[in-house]
Amino acid sequence: MFRTIAFVAATAISGVPIFAQKQMKTVAVVNFVNSAGQPGLNYLKTALPESITGSLSASREISVVERGGLTALLRELELEQSGVVNTGEVARAGKLARADVLLMGSFSGNPEKITVTLKAVDVVTGVVLEGRSVSAPLAEILELCGQTSLAMASAIAGGKTGLVTVTSSPEGAEILIDGIVVGKTPLVEYKVSTGSHSLFLRKSGYREEEKTINIRAGKTERYVETLAPARESVQMFLGFGYQRVFPSAAALQAGNVFSGQLGVNFGRWTADIAFAFNNNWNHTYSYSTPFGSLSQKREYTVSAFLLGIAVEPFQLGQYVSPYVGVFGGFTIVNDYRLKGSDDERERLASFDLLQLGVKAGLEIMPKLRVSLFLEGRYTAFTSAIQRSTFVSQGILGEPTSTTSDLNLTNFSIGGGARLNF
C-alpha cells in the first residue's frame, strides 16, 4: 500500500500521467548468419553482435539484453543456423529472452569488403521495424555496424522519424549524421529521428562540408551539396599581380606596382618569395622664379625583393579563401630627373631600404589550377629617404637646392592570378 501511494505521489510531482509514461523497449541482439561461405569469417557471427550490443548500450531510447547466456538460448530455437525466422519463432525467442525486439543480421563478402544486413524485428508482430545495410573493409566493419545500430535506435524505440535524402556533386562522398557513418551519396530517404542533427560530408580530394539539418516527422528533407576541390597538403604556385599604390606623403603621386611570386601552400599556410617593381613613381614638383613658375619632372623607381607568409584564418565558402599575412625585404629606390623633350633620365640618388608590411586578401577558386586573388597591403619603411628640391632665392639669386626627409609609407590595393601546380 505504501509503495502504491509513493508511486502515485512521485507521478503527481513529475506532472506525467501514470498511463502516459512510455515503457522503454528491450532489444536482444542474436548471433549473425555467415552467408559468405568463408569459415575464416565465422568469428563475426558473435563478434558483430557483441560490438552492436556495446554500441546500443549507449542509447537512452532502448534497453539491451546482456549477451551472456543469450547465444545458447537462441541456438535452441535454431535461429542462428537458418537466418530465416517466422513469427512464431520470433515471438518465442523474444519471450524467452525477455525482449520486445530482436536485432538479427547476416554478412557476406570477403575481408576487402564485408556487407552486413541488419534488421530489427518486433517479437509480437514479426514486423521488421528497421533495416540497414553496411559495407566496409573487415578492419572497419565492427565499428561501422555499431554506429549504424545506434542510428537505428530511434526507429526501434518507436520514436518520431523523418527521411533525409542527400546528394552531392561529385557523388561518392561519405556521409556522417551525428558523427555516425550512414553511407555515401546519393543517400535516398534515409530514416532519421526528428529534430536537429549534424550532417557531415567528406570525400578524398575535396573540402569537407558540415551543416545542421532539421528533420520533421513524416517529412522528407533533401540536401544537395557541391563539393569544392581541396588544396593539396603541399602545393606550389607561380603568381603575377598588380597593385595601385597610394602614398601617405603629399609629395608623391599614386603609383603602379607589378609583381611576380613563387610560393608554396602547406595546409592553411602559405609562404612565398616575390619581386615587386614600380618603374615610375612620380614626384614632379613646381617652384617659383622671378620669371614665372617652373616644374621639374622627377620619378622614383622602386625594386623590392620580399619574403612573405600568410594563413587562412577561417573558411569563408567553397570558392573563396581569405588570408592574412606579413611580408618584408630589401628595397632599392632610385631618384631620377627627367630632362629635355624626350624625358631623358638622370639619376640623382639611390637608397637601400628595408620594408615591412601586412597584407590581407581573398583567393578566388583557390583549389583550381588557376586561381585569382584580391589583396590590400600596408607597407612601411625603416627609414626615410632624402629628397632634393629647388627653392627660389628671388630676383637677385639663383634657385638653390634643399633636401628634406620623405617617408615612402603607403597603402596599396590590387590583385592578380596564380598558377597552382
Mean pLDDT confidence for 41-51 = 91
Instruction: Report yes or no: 390 and 401 within 8 Å, Cβ to Cβ.
Output: yes
Mean pLDDT confidence for 245-272 = 94
The pLDDT tens digits for 278-308 are 999 999 998 777 667 788 899 999 999 999 9
How many C-beta atoms lie closer than 10 Å to residue 347's C-beta? 10
Which one, of 93, 88, 87, lies nearest residue 74 by Cα?
93
The pLDDT, as a whole number, for residue 398 is 63
The pLDDT tens digits for 314-350 are 877 778 889 999 999 999 999 999 988 888 999 999 9
What is the sign, positive or negative, of the torsion defined by CA atoms of 204, 209, 215, 219?
Answer: negative
If one compares 50 and 398, the residue with the highest pLDDT of the two is 50
Taking the C-alpha atoms of residue 118 and residue 332, their distance in angstroms, rounded to an integer, is: 73
Instruction: Report yes or no: 104 and 128 within 8 Å, Cβ to Cβ.
Output: no
Indicate whether 21 pLDDT > 60: no
Residues forming a β-bridge with 245: 255, 412
Three-state secondary-structure class, residue 218:
coil
Mean pLDDT confidence for 70-90 = 56
The pLDDT, as a whole number, for residue 75 is 61
Which one, of 235, 258, 197, lies nearest residue 321 by Cα?
235
Which one, of 127, 145, 134, lies nearest residue 47 by Cα?
145
Taking the C-alpha atoms of residue 334 and residue 288, their distance in angstroms, rounded to an integer, is: 26
Instruction: Report yes or no: 389 and 401 within 8 Å, Cβ to Cβ.
Output: yes
Helical (H) or strand (E) element with 64:
strand 62-64
Helical (H) or strand (E) element with 96:
helix 87-97
The secondary structure of residue 384, as a DSSP letter, is: -
pLDDT band at 179 (very low <50, low <70, confident <90, very high): confident
Distance spanning both ends of the chain, measured CA to CA: 82
If one compares 81 and 238, the residue with the highest pLDDT of the two is 238
Taking the C-alpha atoms of residue 74 and residue 376, their distance in angstroms, rounded to an integer, is: 72
Taking the C-alpha atoms of residue 11 and residue 182, their distance in angstroms, rounded to an integer, is: 39
Model pTM above 0.85: no
Mean pLDDT confidence for 12-40 = 71
Strands 101-110 and 187-193: unpaired
Q: Which domains does the chain have, with CATH numbers?
A: 22-159 (3.40.50.10070), 160-227 (2.60.40.10), 234-420 (2.40.160.20)
Which one, of 199, 200, 198, 193, lies nearest residue 215 by Cα?
193
pLDDT band at 199 (very low <50, low <70, confident <90, very high): very high
Proportion of the chain in helix, strand, coil states, percent, rounded to 5: 15, 55, 30
368 CB-near residues (< 8 Å, 6+ apart): 229, 420
If one compares 106 and 179, the residue with the highest pLDDT of the two is 106
Taking the C-alpha atoms of residue 112 and residue 136, their distance in angstroms, rounded to an integer, is: 8
Mean pLDDT confidence for 183-192 = 86
Strands 161-169 and 220-226: parallel
The pLDDT tens digits for 352-370 are 999 999 999 999 988 788 9
pLDDT band at 231 (very low <50, low <70, confident <90, very high): low
Indicate whether 141 pLDDT > 80: yes
Indicate whether 120 pLDDT > 70: yes
pLDDT band at 392 (very low <50, low <70, confident <90, very high): low
If one compares 406 and 23, the residue with the highest pLDDT of the two is 406
Average pLDDT, the chain: 84
Which three cell numbers, joined as nine digits, stand for 300?
Answer: 622614383
The pLDDT, as a whole number, for residue 372 is 95
| E-state strands within 297-343 | 298-311, 320-339
The pLDDT, as a whole number, for residue 14 is 44
Indicate whether 402 pLDDT > 70: yes
Instruction: Report yes or no: 194 and 161 within 8 Å, Cβ to Cβ.
Output: yes
Taking each continuous run of H as one helix and of E as one strand, the counts in the chain are 7, 25
Instruction: Report yes or no: 116 and 145 within 8 Å, Cβ to Cβ.
Output: yes
If one compares 198 and 16, the residue with the highest pLDDT of the two is 198
DSSP 136-204: E-HHHHHHHHHHHHHHTHHHHHT--EEEEEEEEESS--EEEETTEEEEESSEEEEEEESEEEEEEEE-T
